[in-house]
Structure 1
Amino acid sequence: MATLVQETPVYAGHEIGHLSNAAAKWVDLSGSWNLFRRAGDLLHLGGTLFLLVSILLRRSTLGISWKTQFLYTVVFFTRYLDLPDNIWTYRNFPQEAAKMEYLILFKGTYMLVQVVILFLFFRFNAATNGTYETHKDTFNIWFVLVPYFIIAALFAQRRTVSEICWTYSEYIEAFVMVPQYVFQYRNEKQSPGRGDRHPSVFIWIMCIGLYRCLYFLNWMWKELHNDYVAPHSLIGGSLQILLFSDFLTYYICDISCLRTLVLYSDDKINDAGDAIELRAFPSRAPEVEQKRLRRRNRNEPGYQQVGTDLGDPTMVGRPEFDDIL
């Protein structure tokens, strides 16, 4: 699972490659800079910028999972620790300027945009009386962040900070869209008809889903032509494509094979998280009980957004903004 995939983290600016002719590389179907990767990168960047512009124009974060945006921020900041090395290579190896410009532009943009999006979640929540739909953003990201950090530390190829962080980002990206899909599945559960479906959010999800499909083809192509083996990328990519396909049929045709399973698993994971929190911090029993009550209430017919205007954040039983993790 990689954004701007690197075969290994030693790519950190010191793998002097074969990009002497940037124009030729755009039509080169061999190596790691094939067209599948290029098209995937452009879709990912375009979708990310579109989401940012959409939030700014709507002045609202309705329909968007904060937890997915947070996980993307973790992915980018742990994967792109090599950004200073890219800048160093750009300055000291003119023959690699085109390649480094590409990497620096994409990596820097991803990191900056994600920070801005997270800021806008807090900004618009305070400014517009709350447009973040906490009651739908229920995925417990601690069950991804903590276990996979331990796994990355144990199974990284080299025991260095950059290698462990790069491996960690690979594992995390397999689950980065899961909170958004849980969010979308709960739309239908809490709202009559087709739920609260925002076209701009759908366009962003389409960009991300198609980008993952193109990157899957990128990995397959490299395996066929470069003896490149990345089983974790293929497995994680398959999971993402499966979830994306199910969401697509759910959004367009109201047919889903995974929605019931995903929501059931999400509820059970949250129950397990509550049990762990109570065991570790008994004094937090009142807060845990409040979270459980909110989860029960969100399934009630009246617990939904009121109105159809994107600028109307009024909700029946709208939860507070303190339950983001």
Structure 2
Amino acid sequence: MTVFRLAGDASHALAWAVLLLILCCSRSAAGLSLRTQELLLLVYAWRYQDLAWNFLSLYNWCTKLAYLSLAVCVVSACHCVPALRRTRNYSTDLRPLSTLLLLVLPSLLLGYATSMDRTSPFENLWASSLYLEAVAAVPQLVLIVREGSSRSAVSHYIFLLALYRAFYLGNWAQRYRREPYYWQPQAWTSGAVQTLLYVPFFIVY
């Protein structure tokens, strides 16, 4: 456990807390891409299947459960709470079919192609979740470009997510220096791509 990992997890958790605060206080989903939230939920569902049997540490298990639960809450609220449904950006958000064809299916194919064990559904989905997380912010970026602006409250949430990814790059670099057998090219590649996609958010912020 490195200081970068702890800082990254803290930024990640704070991002979800800020998002829930935005939705609860403003009762508006304006400026927020529901497609991005659905993709993040799919990422966690694919990656955290091992919640039922993998108890590496209490911290690790609770963190996984918290991210998955928070994502379920946000997506459910955007779909079910009338005030949030009315303020969703239907015209500027990516369509479900476009999201499936352009982001989800390529992630599944890349995950299968680079999986450590192609006979294991868990390994295939775990690898796919890395690539899907890398592009999950694309619908949010598209929404900002189409609308020509970013809601300030949503920008804080996006900034914290970008910060989380930046801290994880530091975590990987530190682990690579300290651990002789640490080798995760899939995570490094997808993380680098995700960080590059967040650069426009940093500029806007």
Q: Same fold (TM over 0.5)?
A: yes
Rounded to whole Å, the distance in 1 between the matches of 2:197 and 2:126 is 24
Letter in 2 for 1:155: T
Q: 1:236 aligns with which of 153, 177, 190?
A: 190
Q: 1:210 aligns with which of 157, 163, 186?
A: 163
Letter in 2 for 1:168: S
Contact kept, 8 Å, 2:8 with 2:163, in 1: the verdict is yes
Q: 2:173 aligns with which of 190, 210, 220?
A: 220
Rounded to whole Å, the distance in 2 between the matches of 1:152 and 1:135 is 31
Contact kept, 8 Å, 2:155 with 2:201, in 1: the verdict is no
User: Which residue of the partner structure matches residue 25 of structure 2?
Assistant: 57
Contact kept, 8 Å, 2:162 with 2:198, in 1: the verdict is yes
Matched, 1:141 2:109: no
User: Which residue of the partner structure matches residue 297 of structure 1?
Assistant: none
Structure 1 residues 55 and 152, CA, compared in 2 at 3 Å: closer, same or farther?
same
User: Which residue of the partner structure matches residue 113 of structure 1?
Assistant: 70
Rounded to whole Å, the distance in 1 between the matches of 2:85 and 2:135 is 30
TM-score, normalised by the number of residues in structure 2 = 0.90
Structure 2: 5+ residue runs without aligned partners?
none
Structure 1 residues 155 and 239, CA, compared in 2 at 3 Å: closer, same or farther?
closer
**Cα drift, residue 128 of structure 1:** 6.2
Q: 1:167 aligns with which of 127, 148, 158?
A: 127
Q: Give the SS at the match of 2:94.
A: coil
Please give the residue correspondences for 1:1-325 in structure 2 after superposition, counting only pairs within 5 Å: 33-86=1-54, 89=55, 100-124=57-81, 126-127=82-83, 130-138=86-94, 140-142=98-100, 143-158=102-117, 159-188=119-148, 195=149, 197-227=150-180, 228-249=182-203, 251-252=204-205
Q: Which runs of 4+ in 1 moved over 6 A?
A: none
Rounded to whole Å, the distance in 2 between the matches of 1:216 and 1:148 is 21
Q: Give the SS at the match of 1:174.
A: helix
Rounded to whole Å, the distance in 2 between the matches of 1:128 and 1:187 is 18
Higher relative contact order (CA closer than 8 Å, sequence separation 6+): 2
Structure 1 residues 54 and 164, CA, compared in 2 at 3 Å: closer, same or farther?
same
> How many residues are treated as equivalent by the alignment?
200
Structure 1: 5+ residue runs without aligned partners?
1-32, 90-98, 189-194, 253-325
Structure 1 residues 163 and 48, CA, compared in 2 at 3 Å: closer, same or farther?
same
Rounded to whole Å, the distance in 2 between the matches of 1:122 and 1:246 is 28
**Cα drift, residue 100 of structure 1:** 2.3
Please list the CA deviations of residues 10-64 of structure 1 after superposition, one character each: whole Å capped at 9, or x if unmatched. xxxxxxxxxxxxxxxxxxxxxxx11111110111011112101210111111110
Q: CA RMSD in A?
A: 1.8
Larger Rg over CA atoms: 1
**Cα drift, residue 182 of structure 1:** 1.2
Rounded to whole Å, the distance in 1 between the matches of 2:199 and 2:20 is 24
Rounded to whole Å, the distance in 2 between the matches of 1:233 and 1:155 is 11
Letter in 1 for 2:73: V
Letter in 2 for 1:163: E
Letter in 2 for 1:54: I
Rounded to whole Å, the distance in 1 between the matches of 2:88 and 2:192 is 30
Rounded to whole Å, the distance in 2 between the matches of 1:100 and 1:149 is 28
Greater fraction helix: 2
Letter in 2 for 1:179: P
Rounded to whole Å, the distance in 2 between the matches of 1:148 and 1:128 is 29
